[in-house]
Amino acid sequence: MSGLALSLLGPFTATIDGQSLGEFRTRSAQALLVYLACQPEPQSRETLTALLWPETPQLSAHQNLRQTLYLLRQWLPDVPAPAGDRRPLILAGRKSIQLNPESPIVLDVAVFNALIDQPQPSPQQLAEAIALYRGDFLANFYLPESNPFEDWVTARRAYLQRRVLTALDKLTAHSLQDGDYATAATLARRQVTLDNLRESAHRQLMLALAGSGQRAEALAQFEQCARLLREELGIKPSAETRALAEHIAAGDDQPAAPAHLHARVPFAPRPRHNLPLQLSSFIGREREIAEVRRLLAGARLVTLTGAGGSGKTRLALQAAEGLLGTFADGVWFIELAALSEPALVVSVIAATLGIVEQKNRPPAEALREHLRPRHTLLVLDNCEHLIHAVAQLAETLLHHCPSLRILATSREMLAIAGEVVWLVPTLSLPQIDLPPRVEDLRQFDAVRLFLERASSALPSFDLSERNAAPVTQLCRQLDGMPLAIELAAARVKMLRVDQIVARLDDRFGLLAGGSRTALPRHQTLRALIDWSHDLLSPAEQCLLRRLSVFAGGFTLEAAAAINDEADDLDTLALLTQLVNKSLVVVDQSSDRDARYFLLETIGQYTWEKLQAAGESDHMLDRHARYFCRVLEEALPQYDYNDHWYQRLNWIETEYDNWRAVLSRAFNDHSIALEWGGRVAARMGSYWLMHGRLSEGRRWLEVALAGVDATMTATRAALSLWMASLMMREGHPRGPGLAAEGLVAYQELGDKSGTAWALVVLGLHKGNDPGRTIAYLEQGLQLATEAGAYSIMSGAHYALARAALRAGDFERATDHGEKALQLAAKQDNQIRKVDLLRQLGVIASWQGHYDHAAALYDESMTLARALQAKGWVVAQILNSQGENARRRREYDRALAYYRDALAIAHEISDVSLILGEHLNMGLVLVRQNDLDSAVTSLRESLGIIAGGHRIDGDFIWNLWGFAVAAMRRGRPERAACLFGVADGLRDQTGLYLSPVDAEDYRQDVAQARAALGEDAFAAAWDQGRRLSADEAIALALE
């Protein structure tokens, strides 16, 4: 029959003919419908207004009711009556309102009550009623503006919960009588979930567990019951419950169950193991399983350690399952998580093994004698909160029982003789720096686990090109932790993967609500970490939360710096404990100092703890102060001193911490701007020389905008680094920033800084030759007076470039060699790489190609030995390409250019990208690959046009377009472009190498010959009169 169906037990749902009616427009309308459904008799309008709007004046409340009725009628369609006409679902008279009693309405609460109200409800009827109870009445629905309605809901909710608990109790007792212990355990657990202080439910669960041979779990359930009663009510379990626990612990064959249950506790025949059947598949970990089994073959105690949720228990169970045939007397799993009393560890293990306790014999002795002749594997799970008791017992048993093996799982090692500790790794993850491919991602265990659990939650879910990247990001951000990944996978029912990733900043709120039958600490991510955190001492908790300020790891020295109330030895001792308890990860794989990390999830948790303790501002300041100090001690103050490269590994290892200082200063404003400015001022050489141009440009820009004018030295350095970058890219702001830096250093009386600024100004391509030489010679003089050998080397390098552009090869070589000598004197190895390259350029311009090639090879060999990358290597490749081009070895030249272009794109070096496209275009046009040539030339011209760069690159570009026009039979266009180029050569003073000058002369002559003198002259003159923008438009036609 067609009609309205309302489900109020659990979250509210409403359907018509099985189709959802969607969401209500107001909560008041929803509340009105619920009340009318539960109270089918007519309700006066006064009753309804007092219920829903108790604090509203009477006239307004009645107006609210009329409006709510209107919205409800709009939301609820009429339904057909048996005769075929349509009936309204709501009948509203002048005085009263009710749901239409003749309309077919199905209400789950009414069906639930009808089933339970049977005189003698059958088990089937009880089961149907329980199935209807999806959760508490109107779960998650509130009407905060109405206390009367909330009071009515609360009373109704309590009444229905009492009824379902009674039904569950009856059905559990029936299952126990029938010997269906699995069903009885499920029903009893549901009672405990609804009311964890219901002692009769705990007894039923104990009976069900004992009946299925799980005596250890039954005793653990008693422990949980006792703890809850003690903590919540301050009482002990009843005599009846204690007696049942004693019967189970004694292991009687047929102990009497409490009489009211009408059941006895049969004990199943003992199998050779009690490993629990897993309800979900085990994903991957093949290597880890094999390693655990290998360790157990050689050691009698193996402890699997790792952070909570890392999969220790499942790995132990999987490894133990494969050893069932190895241990003649069985493999026994003892779950200790629910046990709170260390004194009961022996009893729980003994009960698991079926050992009957005797009055005059200590349980430990009975356990020891039982295990002494047996070849047994004990799997002790979750030992960390009972660590001392477990360690003491394990040591005793291993000493007296020669064929015993123990596999323990714990967040902390047992620390006894003979123990082999194995840190359970996180699930294998895709690399962060590689674009994810669907066909490759399935090989990683973390991704496989996510896919398996996500498809269980949403059968249509699968990995695709669209979600591959967010799945990879999710698995990495959750550190490959199995529990966290499983909790996240359950969310695909409601959210896309990218939406889950976007919410991981609040992962503790997002990743809640795991399996109802799991241990409470495994139901949410926060509870999982709370368990470990609460086991720490106050001093350990303090250090752990302070460690959350680090990014990308830290050293012992750094940890001591932010924990300066304690000395280094105390910090080391605390850090050691945190490592032992699997909350801090240590990396000792390299020859550098040990490095420590917090998993991202632990870091987020401890950051919240740091904020709650009111220490975040102070600790962020300590972190910034420490990393600013060590950076300024390690890196040079000025450019051209490349000793930073000797500490490159250290810089890159700590780079995330300096990036954090920059972000906190300029993005979050959680620390003083000074710290960010000082870090940026020292990182310039690293950014520019080591392939981080894009990021360096961004931080330098925000630092210049944010740093106070009173920080004169910092602003001066920032201005010069930014000017160096901008002038390389032809940006018009570059010279102005360099001039600001010069003025600042002059005001400070800093000769070295002033010399550096003059060298930067001398490198500006827009200078006339005389000004360039003046800047550089003045800078060289000041650097010499200051004894700044590195800046002296930089000045000679810049003077060599200026002499080369003027065609003075002898002077260029002299300055280049002096620069190289000074760099060698200061052991500036990375600078030596570039200076060898520069000497090669000078040789190539002179036509000494073999000598140039030898210098380039020497430069590249040294670069590789230093593991240089980025701009340094790309410049060598470009120079090698130029040398090959001049030798007419065009294929080799293209190979060099393409390799350089790939690096340029990696580091976002706009100047290099422009240059490589230009050079490739000039070679391709010589090979008559005109389409490819024009494509490359257009790429470079686009960058030139965007930056308004009127320099040598623009002239070379026009030359390339002119040659392409000639070879396409358009000599007039070629002559015009040559005219533009000639005019710009006069304007910029561009000097060409002899071989390039000869090529240019021949190309112009070909255009003149093709057109004739008069036509050529006319086109040439037209080109010389064009503006730069007009020339660009002509080239791109």
Q: What is the DSSP string of 504-519?
A: GGGHHHHS----TTS-
Give, for 107, the enclosing helix (H) or strand (E): strand 105-107
Selection from 158, 165, 175, 105 nearest residue 129 by Cα: 165
Cβ atoms of 481 and 445 within 8 Å: the answer is: no
Cα separation, 207 vs 501, in Å, equals 44
Asked if pLDDT for residue 836 goes beyond 60, the answer is yes
**What is the pLDDT, as a whole number, of residue 534?**
77
Asked if pLDDT for residue 267 goes beyond 60, the answer is no
Long-range contacts for 811-816 (Cβ within 8 Å, ≥24 apart)?
Answer: 812/842, 813/839, 813/842, 816/842
pLDDT digits 0-9 by tens, 646-672: 777 788 888 889 989 999 999 889 999
pLDDT digits 0-9 by tens, 191-228: 998 888 888 999 999 999 998 888 888 988 998 998 88
Cα separation, 487 vs 515, in Å, equals 9
Q: Which residues pair with 91 in a beta bridge?
A: 98
Average pLDDT over residues 949-971: 86
- Residue 513, exposed/middle/buried by CB under 10 A (0-12, 13-18, 19+)? exposed
- The CATH code for residues 286-423 is 3.40.50.300
Give the percent of the chain with pLDDT over 90.
28
Cα separation, 869 vs 865, in Å, equals 11
Asked if pLDDT for residue 784 goes beyond 80, the answer is yes
**What is the pLDDT, as a whole number, of residue 744?**
92
- Helix/strand/coil for 878: helix
Least confident of 35-49, 313-327, 739-753, 762-776: 762-776
Residue that the structure tokens 């472009």 belong to: 977
CA 80 → CA 75, 77, 83, distances in Å?
16, 10, 8
Least confident of 359-373, 864-878, 945-959: 945-959
- What does the mean pLDDT of the chain come to? 83
Give the percent of the chain with pLDDT over 70.
89
pLDDT digits 0-9 by tens, 573-630: 898 888 877 778 887 665 667 888 887 777 878 888 898 889 999 999 999 999 999 9
Pick the CATH number of 1-177 from 3.40.190.80, 1.10.10.10, 2.60.40.680, 3.30.1490.20: 1.10.10.10
Residue 268's pLDDT band (cuts 50, 70, 90)? very low
CA 942 to chain centre: 37
Residue 945's pLDDT band (cuts 50, 70, 90)? confident
Asked if pLDDT for residue 1036 goes beyond 70, the answer is yes
End-to-end CA distance of the chain: 74
**What is the pLDDT, as a whole number, of residue 311?**
76
**What is the pLDDT, as a whole number, of residue 772?**
86
Selected residue with higher pLDDT from 428 and 520: 428
**What is the pLDDT, as a whole number, of residue 519?**
41
- Helix/strand/coil for 87: strand
What's the topology of domain 537-614? Arc Repressor Mutant, subunit A (1.10.10)
- In CATH terms, is domain 905-1036 a member of 1.25.40.10? yes
Give, for 44, the enclosing helix (H) or strand (E): strand 43-44
Residue 1020's pLDDT band (cuts 50, 70, 90)? very high
Residues in the chain: 1037
Residue 416's pLDDT band (cuts 50, 70, 90)? very high
Asked if pLDDT for residue 70 goes beyond 50, the answer is yes
pLDDT digits 0-9 by tens, 887-896: 999 999 999 9
pLDDT digits 0-9 by tens, 223-248: 899 888 888 778 888 888 888 888 88
**What is the pLDDT, as a whole number, of residue 527?**
61
Kindly report the pTM of this predicted structure: 0.57
Q: Hey, what amino acid is at 360?
A: N
CA 114 to chain centre: 52
pLDDT digits 0-9 by tens, 1006-1015: 999 999 999 9
pLDDT digits 0-9 by tens, 791-833: 899 899 999 988 988 889 999 999 999 999 998 888 888 889 9
CATH homologous superfamily of 179-269 equals Tetratricopeptide repeat domain (1.25.40.10)
Average pLDDT over residues 64-93: 71
Average pLDDT over residues 313-336: 87
**What is the pLDDT, as a whole number, of residue 664?**
92
